[in-house]
A and B are shown apart, each in its own frame.
Chain A
Amino acid sequence: MPGTLVDRLPLPNLKVYTAGSVLLLSIAVYHATIVTSDPNWRANITLQRQEALAEPDGEAQLVDQAEVMPALNLNATRNLNERMVVIITFMMQEPLCMWTLINIAYCFLAVFGFLIQRVVFGQLRVSEAQRVKDKFWNYVFYKFIFIFGVINVQYMDEVMLWCSWFTLVGFLHLMGQLCKDRFEYLASSPNTARWVHVRLVGLLLGILAASTALLGVAVAWGLPAGKDTFAFMAAECLLVLMSVLHVGARYVLQQRGADAAGALAYYTHLGFDSASLVLELMHVVHMVVYSNMLVSMASLVLLMQLRHLLHELQARLRRHRLYTSLADHMSRNYPMASKEEVEKNQDNCAICWEPMKEARKLPCSHLFHNSCLCQWVQQDASCPTCRRGLAHGAPPPPPPTPPHNHLFHFDGSRYVSWLPSFSVEVTRARPSAAQLDAMVAQVLGMFPQADPAALRADLLLTRSAHLTLDNILEGRLQPPAEAPTVRPISPLEAPPAPEPAPPAPEPAPPAAEPGLDNLDVGSTSAIFSRNAPEREQNLRRRKEMLVAAARRRYLERRGEAAPPRS
């Protein structure tokens, strides 16, 4: 990570930097004022420039400008405006002053970013700050590669133009990243004031507008400079646009209360994810093709990035295939529950704890939201309630994906000869019916008295005759799952028969803290308040009560006196 190295550099903080920049600027302005107050300054400068022109120098353009400038009659009435124009013109021509101007522009941007951060985000969380930092250095690194490795700019002006372009785009990128992180954070926190959302949405709209404007710039300036330049510029803008729109879309989906796993939400995410991956991929491919360099540091970096992107795209598509085939499998094998069934079922969905209007019914007659079930089955193909395997007992065409081995093979040499090749096999195999029968027979051979149904159920779980044998030997054989075998492992049946443990009725001990002695340990239930600070306070209070009561009971039981409170 380049970031860790940079952490150790003594970078000035924003205040010092701003102060320094302003100081530099004022020195430059002062210098400009002094120089331009000399009526003959233009002549002097032009003279210097012409001397400089004798040497081959890349500043021909600037000199042209200087000569083209209409000679101002400095003896004429000088109003303030004119004076300012003169000073600025001078500063634009003088390289040192120019640099201070550039510096102050960056400073403005930094202050602007800081203000946005203050107003919209407040204190950044550690993870957000880290993410932005990483992304920043990553961005700087890749753009450096781009400018000097890919388009290979020759002239300082060109470098300046690209730098300012990337500064703006990068600024938007970082802001977009912050918005995304903050949105994810807000989505996971129950009580956020409305204005926090309003500000965030405002910033999102701002970024949207700014990146559209940059796209306009790309069309206006990039297009005349050539198709390649335009494509490079546009790709950057589109990436920012895409990520901002994605956050926006998630906002909309959330506001509409659409179930996060609903088909609409799923395809929105899929669309945005794959579109931005494809776009980025094309962008990198374009760079590789454009730079037309086969062996160089830049190509190495680009190809690494390319590999990473391809990998991610493949993974995304693989996940999508899994999802569709699961959804397909479920809709083919497990019909939706009928209206009466859903109505008769009073319970909420056991996965999300929310009421069900529609439900999918599993063969074990447990009902769940379709989307909840889909997500769970991606992890584990069994009924969440009774753990009955969903692949088991499926009609002849065997369920396509969940029980399949996924062989992921990456053939690096297909892309570049030095890239490694590797395969990853993801085994999620469930024994086939024939294998299962064979294993049941094997175990029955050793334990003829065992219940074949129980064996079958256990083998389905262990997937190995060996483990099932262990289970039989240690008496852990599961009974066949007829009734839901959720086992909340009730603690109350577990403890060994308690010795005489008096439930300690309240003889009002002398040591009890005032205000707490009328409380029973068991009854720490409370009202569930609607606002967060009150809930937090209640929780703390209940905790204190629990500890105080426990301490009191403990001392009573031991017949000890309460220690002096420190």
Chain B
Amino acid sequence: MMAGSALRRLMAEYKQLTVNPPEGIIAGPINEDNFFEWEAFITGPEGTCFEGGIFPAKLVFPPDYPLSPPKMQFLCEMFHPNIYADGRVCISILHAPGDDPMGYETSAERWSPVQSVEKILLSVVSMLAEPNDESGANVDAAKMWREDREQFNKIAEEIVRKTLDLPPP
């Protein structure tokens, strides 16, 4: 019922992201037969342990986008406190206003139709730089991030090399 307006909005976002992309970010539908599934590539933020990596992720939009947020899942191996083992991203901007069972987030941080793919991806970049260890999607990573930063950095380095298709050092 809503697919038409969702489609128009996604097309507008795709155009904007193509013509005027934020640095180090690419996103768009890989196969336009399904415009509701995008692939995104984000560059690991400089000065962090993920620096230089290119991380591919899948974005799946609901038919009532932008009323509901898309889902995001990394397609490469990831080790990060806010990313589940299967790659799903746990970040407040991707949570619909209704669902916050834990009461962690104020609704100001959550999804609203004025958000966009670009804002999501920028948030994810900043999440890579600064994990939020309150919401532990990956408990091991959260623990290591707190207690053994050196080891964490090493694992991140390996992941970065993998995303660049480079052999381990």
Contact = CB atoms under 8 A, between A and B. Distances in A.
A and B interact: yes
B148 to A, nearest CB: 18
A486 interface: yes
Interface in B27-71: 28-36, 39, 41, 43, 45-48, 51-54, 63-64, 66-68
A379 interface: yes
Interface string B87-120: 0000001001110000100111100111100010
Contacts of A352: 5, 8-9, 66
Interface string A527-563: 1100010011011101100110011011101000001
Contact of A501 (B7, B19, B46, B112): B46
Secondary structure of the A contact surface, majority rule: loop
Contacts of A499: 47
A385 interface: yes
A10 interface: no
A551 B164 contact: yes
Nearest to A488: B119
B24 A351 contact: no
Nearest to B24: A521
Interface stretch (A187-195, A296-304, A337-345): A187-195
A26 interface: no
A487 to B, nearest CB: 7
B140 to A, nearest CB: 23
Given A261-B2, A461-B106, 15 more contacts: A188-B4, A189-B35, A250-B1, A260-B2, A380-B97, A384-B114, A486-B115, A487-B109, A489-B122, A491-B123, A521-B43, A525-B18, A527-B19, A535-B32, A536-B30
A478 B167 CA distance: 46
B165 interface: yes
B54 A476 contact: no
Contacts of B125: 491
Interface of B: 1-9, 11-15, 18-21, 23-24, 26, 28-36, 39, 41, 43, 45-48, 51-54, 63-64, 66-68, 93, 96-98, 103, 106-109, 112-115, 119, 122-123, 125-126, 129-130, 160-161, 164-167
B97 A189 contact: no
A536 B32 contact: yes
Contacts of A521: 23-24, 43
A190 B9 CA distance: 11
Given A188-B6, A269-B1, A380 B41 contact: no
Nearest to A187: B3
A510 B160 CA distance: 22
A184 interface: yes
Contacts of B63: 188
Contact of B45 (A259, A261, A471, A495): A495
A354 interface: yes
Given A372-B113, A524-B26, A550 B47 contact: no
Interface of A: 184, 187-191, 250, 254, 259-261, 269, 350-354, 372, 375-376, 379-380, 382, 384-385, 387, 458, 461-462, 464, 467, 471, 476, 478, 481, 485-492, 494-499, 501, 521-522, 524-528, 532, 535-536, 538-540, 542-543, 546-547, 550-551, 553-555, 557, 563
15 contacts: A188-B6, A380-B112, A382-B97, A481-B108, A489-B93, A495-B47, A495-B126, A501-B51, A521-B43, A527-B18, A538-B18, A540-B30, A546-B54, A554-B164, A563-B167
A538 B45 CA distance: 24
A190 B7 contact: yes
B106 A494 contact: no
A206 B93 CA distance: 47
Nearest to A493: B126
Contacts of A387: 107-108, 112
Nearest to A381: B97
B129 A496 contact: yes
Contacts of B35: 188-190
Given A260-B4, A461-B108, A487-B109, A498 B47 contact: yes
Given A380-B107, A526-B18, A554 B114 contact: no
A536 B6 contact: no
A551 B52 CA distance: 8
B167 A550 contact: no
A39 B122 CA distance: 90
B107 A461 contact: yes
A458 B106 contact: yes
Contact of B4 (A187, A461, A487, A494): A187
Contact of B7 (A188, A532, A539): A188
Given A260-B1, A384-B113, A488-B123, A462 B32 contact: no
Given A491-B129, A501-B46, A524-B26, A486 B32 contact: no
B164 A495 contact: no
A122 to B, nearest CB: 11
A555 B160 CA distance: 12
Contacts of B107: 380, 382, 387, 461
A351 B113 contact: yes
A522 B46 CA distance: 13
B16 to A, nearest CB: 9
Nearest to A348: B12
Given A379-B96, A528-B18, A557-B52, A490 B126 contact: yes
Contacts of B34: 188-189
A554 B41 contact: no
Given A535-B32, A550-B54, A551-B165, A385 B112 contact: yes
Pairs of residues from A and B, 6 with the lowest C-beta to C-beta distance, nearest first: A498-B47, A491-B126, A188-B3, A494-B126, A495-B129, A380-B97
Nearest to A525: B21
A406 to B, nearest CB: 14
Given A260-B4, A380-B98, A489 B45 contact: no
A526 B21 CA distance: 9
A333 to B, nearest CB: 20
A353 B41 CA distance: 24
Contacts of A555: 166
A485 B110 CA distance: 12
Nearest to A484: B114
Contacts of A527: 18-19
B73 to A, nearest CB: 17
A551 B166 contact: yes
